[in-house]
Structure 1
Amino acid sequence: MNFFKALILLFVMTSCTQKEKADLIVSGASVYTVDEEFTVAESFAVKNGKIVAVGTSQEINDKYDSDNIINAEGKFIYPGFNDAHCHFNGYAINLLQYADLRGTKSQDEIYELLKAHHDKFGGEWILGRSWDQNDWEDTRFPDKAKLDELFPDIPVYLVRVDGHAGWCNSKALELAGISANSKVQGGEVLLKNGEPTGVLIDNAMGFVGKLIPEMTAAQQEKGLLEAQKNCFAAGLTSVTDCGLDKATILLMDELQEAGTLKMRVNAMLNPTQENFDYFVKKGEAYKTDRLLVNTIKVYADGALGSRGALLMEDYSDDEGNSGLQIETQDYYDMICQLAYDNNFVVATHAIGDGGNRLMLDTYGRFLKGKNDRRWRIEHSQIVNPDDFKKFAEFSIVPSIQPTHCTSDMPWAEDRLGPERIKGAYAYQTLLKQIGWVPAGTDFPVEDIYPLYTFYSAVFRADHEGWPEGGWHKDEGLTREQTLRAMTSWAAKSSFEEDEKGQLVPGMWADFVVLDTDLMKAEPKEVLNTKILSTWSAGEKVFEL
């Protein structure tokens, strides 16, 4: 009898001390969980790609064991960064096809880059991306003259940094059939002495853009995987891609199913009949662990840098020009009705105060009051003081890109004047309307690095620290607000707040390990922060 009692006691003791098996344990860290209390933990355990427990290193060690235990040695861990507004596929295409013109200081510099690019890659077209005349000594729009001289027989198409203007040579204009009489709703062919200059604004870009040779599926796959590699190195584990066609979405789905594309993608739909028929009219989102399709993306206006943003009054530096409305009111009503009837989200690019008022009022007619449909205004860049309250009244989500603020601040007031600038890049005021905001970069318009988003939102200065004390600093976000905007609030904007954006039990184990405490670091330390590793579903997908 004593023998059996001892055996039972031994069994009970063994059962009590036996630990649960985890796939991964991370300990010895400062883990910013970004939960409701903004808890900082030391350790967490992962099983089947998800967080199963969070606590002190001792608590996790007492309960869990794993063949993969990582001592973070005091490093700082955050939920994987989520870019709530970017062009992931566009960035992928740029990596393969376009000369990078970002940061060029003159037209001459661009011409040299184009010659080198064409000498290296050849091709039927010369393509480039990210020029910005505001960075040149002469800030006027360029023309086609020098492009014609250098490339008389090869079409040239160069997309402005904001994606809202194109610069072409005569060969490209000829192929597109563009003349002084070419007209299009929501676009403009710029003229000089009655002839096209080579610069196309907003929808006029489509005349040439539709002629650009399409990439093959194999080329696109190569670009997407290269883009993913760069994004993981920047700490991104999720992106919202703002405007995709059916074929690209299905390719992403296929690559994710095959396990090669591990980036989580919220794929916004271009407003095409094919997308409406295949996705929207089913009346429900298309959803997998890594792909979500539940949003239609449209444009209200152009961009401030190219003076296509729709303003309620003329540009302060361009009398007679108040920007462009991209589509008709009937068009926006049609999109909103389609989305409302099929329980889809509408996300509209709106930069100017006129563009924002147009869409806030349009949304309001459909939403009627507070709701949980999470219709979005992308950028919400310049808002009339009378219109901020409409975000709260109709539960409209203002999706912001803080690096636009610090990129535009040297010239934004020239465009808007001293009064309108008070309602521009007003992130704190926007946040107060619904209590949260998602943040992104809009890459490749801006750099892909989410740490630049953090820096711009918090410090409101360029990377040299100008202006001292920050530009309209009262509209900046706190560090905690910014981290939420890049993680949990970004997830909330796509109805995924129960799956990612926090390091708590039940969430995907998407996280990033940094060498810096973003909640305490000096501005330069934030900029110099190193991404040590990035993890998706508990799998290491990047290591420095």
Structure 2
Amino acid sequence: MKKIFPLFLLCLLIACAPEKIPADLLVKNATIYTVNENFDTENAFIVKNGKILEIGIKPELELKYNIAETYDAKGKTIVPGLIDGHAHLYGLGLNLQDVDLTETTSYDEVLARVITFQKEKSKNYIIGRGWDQNDWEEKKFPTNKELDSLFPETPVALTRIDGHAMIVNSKALELAGITTETKMDGGVIGVESGKLTGILVDSPMSLVEESFPKQNRGYNKQALLDAERICLEMGLTTVNDAGLDKEVIQLIDSLQRRDSMALRVYAMVSNKPKNLDYYLNNGKVKTDRLNVRSVKVYADGALGSRGAAMRNSYSDMPGHFGAMITPADSLQTLADKIATADFQMNTHAIGDSANISVLRAYETALKGKTDARWKIEHAQIVTEKDFDKFSKNIIPSVQPTHATSDMYWAEDRIGSKRIKGAYAYKTLLDKAGIVVLGTDFPVEKVNPMYTFYAAVARKDLKHYPENGFQKKDALSREEALKGMTIWAAYSNFEETEKGSIEEGKFADFTVLDRDIMKVEEDSIPNTKVLATFINGKKEFSSEEE
């Protein structure tokens, strides 16, 4: 009888226990930076139907839920799914199909890579990207003399790393219809001694790009999926693509709906008449993975190619001021049109002249609007009095690795006075209350840990300079992580669905091999992504299963 009673009591307790709630995934044994309002750290959470169901302590969650799958983080660090606030996903994919010219140290190396590529691929039109004359011993633009000699009948177009300059051979110029008489506002067509040099800066590049071979749907699909693979490997769960045509946006939507593409995309519509006519008239597009509600505009060019629009001439090129790609009056007309359609305007502005032109256009167009969340992409060189114009209604979207890439020559370009208002991320944050972080890949590397490191250390990957570049504008680690998660989500009108690990939000999270909030600063760039989850599904893993 004594043995029967305990058995009876156990059966009674089991019968009275509440039935466990079905759940898809338990994530346990982790240092979880939730990036919620209090920036809490947690140990475990439950996922159901692609969303965070509950955050808590592992034993309690195991008792409460009937769990289909468990992910044991084994003490590693988990952060919200990382968001790249400004990048070119499709552009990265296209680059992967073309000649890679990044990290070339001379024009001769550029030519050698083109020759090797063409021997392997035998293309009818050779396209490449990634050269930067600032990394060469002779820091000046090349001419197309060598390209003409090597490829007299095959068009060649090689774009600078920033996408704002191009060296093309004579065959490409011929196909584009460019002669010494061609004139085009918003850029430069290189001419020396009455002959075309092959250098194009900003607007004239579009004439060459229009002559590129038209790619079919299969080619574009492969480009997108190749780029997505790299992003997932780097821990990204959302990418803001800064400028896409309607056809590419619709292809992304198609791939996502068929579950062929897991990555979430915030697609900025490229500022072209056909795109604006379609989207501004038909309205926003929003699914769980795609958000189309913004227009990407170029105010000016890039600093590296001296295309950034400056109030005073360049310090290393007296009399040269850069150029506005979209003149001030056109910016205002466009801003008014976008505001009327209730779309967001995201404008590339590098030079101080471009930044004030954009700020003025925004202020006029946004009168009476308090939650527009328009963005200035790059906000790279800002005059001191203009910082006050940034806010949560006019948000700075910046790329920390631009500072550490440009720091070697930027002061030569703009002088010691103007450099103080350049790459001023902490100042922008203090004024706006928010700052969005991205990479601008493929201009910079995709790796978001490089973004995080450049933001907090203000150093390059060789840990130079020792005390950081203009360290007063470094961000704290908490600020940097927010800029890559919740603040980026806010700028996309998505803060209620992503950007932090909180109940009811998408189960997007990134598993790291070290605690980036605590490790020694110079070890941050060596951080590896162990796994990337979107909707609670593991989309990438470097761990042994």
Does TM-score exceed 0.5, indicating one fold?
yes
Secondary structure of the residue aligned to 1:361 is helix
Are residues 59 and 188 of structure 1, via their aligned partners in 2, closer, same or farther at CA, if it must alter by over 3 Å?
same
Give me the whole-angstrom Cα distance separating, in 2, the residues matched to 1:245 and 1:408.
Answer: 29
Give the structure 2 partner of residue 475 of structure 1: 473
Runs of at least 4 residues off by over 6 Å = 6-12
Give the structure 2 partner of residue 81 of structure 1: 82
Secondary structure of the residue aligned to 1:114 is helix
Give the structure 1 partner of residue 519 of structure 2: 521
Aligned-residue offset at 1:528: 1.2
Q: Counterpart of 1:208 in structure 2: which amino acid?
A: V
Aligned-residue offset at 1:349: 0.3
Give the structure 2 partner of residue 3 of structure 1: none
Q: Tell me if the contact between 1:32 and 1:40 (Cα under 8 Å) persists in the aligned partners.
A: yes
Aligned-residue offset at 1:149: 1.4
Aligned-residue offset at 1:178: 1.5
Are residues 467 and 125 of structure 1, via their aligned partners in 2, closer, same or farther at CA, if it must alter by over 3 Å?
same
Give the structure 1 partner of residue 336 of structure 2: 337
Give the structure 2 partner of residue 443 of structure 1: 441
Give the structure 1 partner of residue 48 of structure 2: 47
Aligned-residue offset at 1:431: 0.5
Secondary structure of the residue aligned to 2:334 is helix
Deviations 1:153-175 (A, max 9, x none): 11110000000001011111122
Structure 2: gaps spanning 5 or more residues: 1-6
Give the structure 2 partner of residue 304 of structure 1: 303
Give me the whole-angstrom Cα distance separating, in 2, the residues matched to 1:73 and 1:370.
Answer: 47
Q: Counterpart of 2:410 in structure 1: which amino acid?
A: A
Aligned-residue offset at 1:294: 0.3
Deviations 1:189-242 (A, max 9, x none): 012112221100000111211111121101111111111111100101100111
The number of aligned residues is 536
Secondary structure of the residue aligned to 2:188 is strand
Give me the whole-angstrom Cα distance separating, in 2, the residues matched to 1:129 and 1:74.
Answer: 41
Aligned-residue offset at 1:151: 1.1
Deviations 1:251-309 (A, max 9, x none): 11111000001110011001223222322123x42100000000011110000000000
Give the structure 1 partner of residue 381 of structure 2: 382
Give me the whole-angstrom Cα distance separating, in 1, the residues matched to 2:241 and 2:119.
Answer: 32
Give the structure 1 partner of residue 171 of structure 2: 171
Give the structure 2 partner of residue 275 of structure 1: 275
Are residues 41 and 125 of structure 1, via their aligned partners in 2, closer, same or farther at CA, if it must alter by over 3 Å?
same
Give me the whole-angstrom Cα distance separating, in 1, the residues matched to 2:401 and 2:106.
Answer: 22
Give TM-score scaled by structure 1 length: 0.96
Q: Counterpart of 1:452 in structure 2: which amino acid?
A: Y
Q: Tell me if the contact between 1:488 and 1:502 (Cα under 8 Å) persists in the aligned partners.
A: yes
Give the structure 2 partner of residue 91 of structure 1: 92
Give the structure 1 partner of residue 430 of structure 2: 432
Give me the whole-angstrom Cα distance separating, in 2, the residues matched to 1:14 and 1:499.
Answer: 38
Q: Tell me if the contact between 2:187 and 2:325 (Cα under 8 Å) persists in the aligned partners.
A: yes
- Identity within the alignment, %: 47
Aligned-residue offset at 1:10: 6.8
Is 1:368 the counterpart of 2:367 in the alignment?
Answer: yes
Give me the whole-angstrom Cα distance separating, in 2, the residues matched to 1:144 and 1:416.
Answer: 28
Give TM-score scaled by structure 2 length: 0.96
Aligned-residue offset at 1:48: 0.1
Secondary structure of the residue aligned to 1:23 is strand
Aligned-residue offset at 1:8: 13
Q: Counterpart of 1:157 in structure 2: which amino acid?
A: A
Give the structure 2 partner of residue 486 of structure 1: 484
Give me the whole-angstrom Cα distance separating, in 1, the residues matched to 2:515 and 2:214.
Answer: 44
Secondary structure of the residue aligned to 1:355 is helix
Q: Tell me if the contact between 1:245 and 1:275 (Cα under 8 Å) persists in the aligned partners.
A: yes
Aligned-residue offset at 1:15: 5.0
Q: Counterpart of 1:22 in structure 2: which amino acid?
A: A
Secondary structure of the residue aligned to 2:261 is coil
**Higher alpha-carbon deviation: 432-441 or 155-164:** 432-441
Give the structure 1 partner of residue 132 of structure 2: 132
Q: Tell me if the contact between 2:401 and 2:454 (Cα under 8 Å) persists in the aligned partners.
A: yes
Give me the whole-angstrom Cα distance separating, in 1, the residues matched to 2:25 and 2:15.
Answer: 23
Aligned-residue offset at 1:16: 3.5
Give me the whole-angstrom Cα distance separating, in 1, the residues matched to 2:198 and 2:15.
Answer: 79
Give the structure 2 partner of residue 56 of structure 1: 57
Q: Tell me if the contact between 1:35 and 1:502 (Cα under 8 Å) persists in the aligned partners.
A: yes
Give the 5 Å matches for 1:502-513: 502-513=500-511
Give me the whole-angstrom Cα distance separating, in 2, the residues matched to 1:140 and 1:251.
Answer: 39
Give the structure 1 partner of residue 3 of structure 2: none
Give the structure 1 partner of residue 294 of structure 2: 295
Q: Counterpart of 1:86 in structure 2: which amino acid?
A: A
Give the structure 2 partner of residue 463 of structure 1: 461
Give the structure 1 partner of residue 120 of structure 2: 120
Q: Counterpart of 2:313 in structure 1: which amino acid?
A: D
Give the structure 2 partner of residue 321 of structure 1: 320
Aligned-residue offset at 1:44: 0.5
Q: Tell me if the contact between 2:84 and 2:438 (Cα under 8 Å) persists in the aligned partners.
A: yes
Secondary structure of the residue aligned to 1:386 is helix
Structure 1: gaps spanning 5 or more residues: 1-5
Q: Tell me if the contact between 1:185 and 1:327 (Cα under 8 Å) persists in the aligned partners.
A: no
Give the structure 2 partner of residue 359 of structure 1: 358
Aligned-residue offset at 1:62: 3.0
Secondary structure of the residue aligned to 2:204 is helix
Q: Counterpart of 2:44 in structure 1: which amino acid?
A: S
Q: Counterpart of 1:373 in structure 2: which amino acid?
A: A
2:396 maps to which of 392, 395, 398: 398
Deviations 1:52-88 (A, max 9, x none): 0112223322322312012211011111110010010
Deviations 1:431-464 (A, max 9, x none): 0122111110000111111111001101101111
Over aligned residues, Cα RMSD in angstroms? 1.7
Give the structure 2 partner of residue 204 of structure 1: 204
Secondary structure of the residue aligned to 2:436 is coil
Q: Tell me if the contact between 2:299 and 2:327 (Cα under 8 Å) persists in the aligned partners.
A: no
Secondary structure of the residue aligned to 1:377 is strand
Aligned-residue offset at 1:246: 0.9
Deviations 1:460-509 (A, max 9, x none): 01111111010001101110000010011111110000001111101100
Secondary structure of the residue aligned to 2:385 is coil
Give the structure 1 partner of residue 28 of structure 2: 27
Is 1:141 the counterpart of 2:141 in the alignment?
Answer: yes
Q: Tell me if the contact between 1:80 and 1:512 (Cα under 8 Å) persists in the aligned partners.
A: yes
**Higher alpha-carbon deviation: 18-27 or 250-259:** 18-27
Give me the whole-angstrom Cα distance separating, in 2, the residues matched to 1:60 and 1:164.
Answer: 53
Give me the whole-angstrom Cα distance separating, in 2, the residues matched to 1:444 and 1:215.
Answer: 20
